[in-house]
């Protein structure tokens, strides 16, 4: 990322060929990470955009239905994100489990959309079982949101009918405003392309008198210039994860999260994350605070506020 930023400052767009080659390298690394082909991966700006491409781009028919759950992040739950305008019924399961979802599926179910890990309490969905449920249902497709909590915000939204269990919350530790959108080849044509630009059509190197046929692979969803600096960062982060090993990272993350949950339990917090801990996200509620302690806390904050005000208003002595 530093090399790209410095090069942009010193040389402008002189190295643009290297920039676009980095996008290809990222698709290759991302394919290794999630078990897909580079041609099935598009580079978008965030999860909300990816999920909108599914919700608004899917070739719905009136009477179809989509299933989501009460544990979803807003981008995977908003009723007005394309489903309702197409006359599609939104069915909401209490949990992302086979037991909760199966009664809602019927012959008109087109998409089951769930998060691999709940953003607030770390509930981990059994994607293998839900994927098999979708495969058994006639025409149902699994749309999966992989989330990351923390400073970074790489996310992976996938459209597929089966998801191997190894594809879990990756915590990719990359920059914001770049994400991986995985659209399985056998389902790609089920999505209308909502955005058009100079990068998602067959141009043959030309900028005038071009052929505006869409690219055949997932790059058809990339309409225009990408977040090149973010692409450098995300590719480096994914390659680091692959070097360390996802299984090694998962084992360490779950061990640390389990220790945190146990210690919170020990000091009176109510841990809302399901046991055994299966992700790095812990949701917990603090114990009730004594009213007397609240009084002293307010007094302390009042004193700190007055001290800051006094320092701000004090004359400057040299």
> What CATH architecture applies to the domain 2-244?
3-Layer(aba) Sandwich (3.40)
DSSP 102-170: GGG--TTEEEEEEESB-TTT--B--HHHHHHHHHHSTT-EEEEEE---SS----EEEEES---TT----
pLDDT at residue 186 in the model: 87
Give the span between the Cα atoms of 92 and 112, in whole angstroms. Answer: 10
Q: What percent of the chain has pLDDT over 90?
A: 46
For residue 20, is pLDDT > 70?
yes
Give the span between the Cα atoms of 261 and 184, in whole angstroms. Answer: 37
Give the span between the Cα atoms of 160 and 116, in whole angstroms. Answer: 13
Confidence of residue 287 (pLDDT cuts 50, 70, 90): confident
Provide the token pair at 277: 């801990």
Sign (positive or negative) of CA dihedral 303, 304, 307, 309: negative
Q: What are φ and ψ of residue 95, in 5° steps?
A: -140, 155
For residue 311, is pLDDT > 60?
no
Confidence of residue 298 (pLDDT cuts 50, 70, 90): low
User: Which position has the token pair 């055949």?
Assistant: 216
SS3 content of the chain, % helix, strand, coil (to 5): 45, 15, 40
User: Which position has the token pair 């915590």?
Assistant: 171
Closest to 44 (Cα-Cα) out of 177, 187, 168: 177
Give the span between the Cα atoms of 121 and 219, in whole angstroms. Answer: 34
pLDDT at residue 6 in the model: 95
Give start-end residues of each CATH 3.40.640.10 domain in the chain. Answer: 2-244
How do residues 44-81 score in pLDDT, each as one tens digit?
998 888 888 988 898 888 889 999 998 888 777 655 55
Pairing mode, if any, of strands 109-115 and 65-69? Answer: parallel
3-state secondary structure of 220: helix
How do residues 216-260 score in pLDDT, each as one tens digit?
999 999 999 999 999 999 999 999 999 999 889 989 999 999 999
pLDDT at residue 1 in the model: 94
Buried b (16+ CB within 10 A) or exposed e, 114-125: bbbbbbebbbbb
Q: What is the largest CA-CA distance in the chain?
A: 80
Give the span between the Cα atoms of 179 and 170, in whole angstroms. Answer: 12
209-218: average pLDDT: 86
125-146: average pLDDT: 85
Report the chain's C-alpha Rg in angstroms.
Answer: 24
Give the span between the Cα atoms of 156 and 170, in whole angstroms. Answer: 9
Give the span between the Cα atoms of 200 and 217, in whole angstroms. Answer: 9
Give the span between the Cα atoms of 231 and 178, in whole angstroms. Answer: 7
């Amino acid at each position: 990322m530093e090399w790209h930023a410095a090069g942009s400052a010193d040389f402008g767009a002189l190295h643009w060929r290297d920039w676009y080659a980095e996008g290809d390298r990222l698709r290759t690394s991302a394919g290794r990470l999630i078990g897909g082909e580079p041609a099935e991966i598009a580079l978008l700006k965030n999860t909300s955009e990816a999920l909108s491409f599914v919700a608004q781009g899917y070739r719905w028919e009136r009477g179809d239905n989509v299933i989501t759950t009460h544990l979803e992040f807003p981008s995977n739950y908003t009723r007005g994100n394309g489903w309702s305008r197409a006359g599609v019924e939104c069915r909401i399961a209490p949990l992302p489990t086979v037991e909760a979802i199966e009664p809602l599926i019927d012959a008109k179910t087109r998409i089951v959309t769930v998060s691999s890990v709940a953003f607030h309490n770390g509930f981990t969905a059994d994607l293998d079982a839900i994927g098999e449920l979708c495969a058994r249902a006639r025409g149902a497709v699994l749309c999966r949101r992989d989330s990351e909590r923390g400073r970074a915000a790489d996310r992976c939204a996938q459209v597929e009918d089966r998801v191997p269990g190894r594809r879990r919350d990756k915590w990719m530790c990359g920059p914001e405003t770049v994400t991986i959108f995985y659209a399985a080849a056998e389902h790609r044509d089920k999505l209308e392309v909502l955005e058009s630009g100079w990068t998602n059509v067959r141009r043959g190197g030309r900028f005038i008198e071009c052929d505006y046929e869409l690219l055949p692979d997932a790059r058809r969803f990339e309409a225009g210039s990408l977040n090149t600096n973010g692409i450098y960062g995300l590719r480096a982060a994914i390659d680091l994860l692959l070097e360390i090993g996802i299984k090694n990272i998962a084992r360490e993350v779950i061990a640390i999260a389990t220790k945190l949950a146990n210690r919170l339990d020990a000091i009176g917090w109510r841990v809302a994350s399901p046991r055994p801990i299966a992700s790095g996200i812990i949701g917990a509620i603090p114990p009730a605070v004594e009213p007397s302690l609240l009084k002293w806390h307010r007094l302390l904050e009042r004193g700190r506020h007055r001290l800051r005000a006094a320092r701000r208003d004090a004359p400057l002595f040299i």
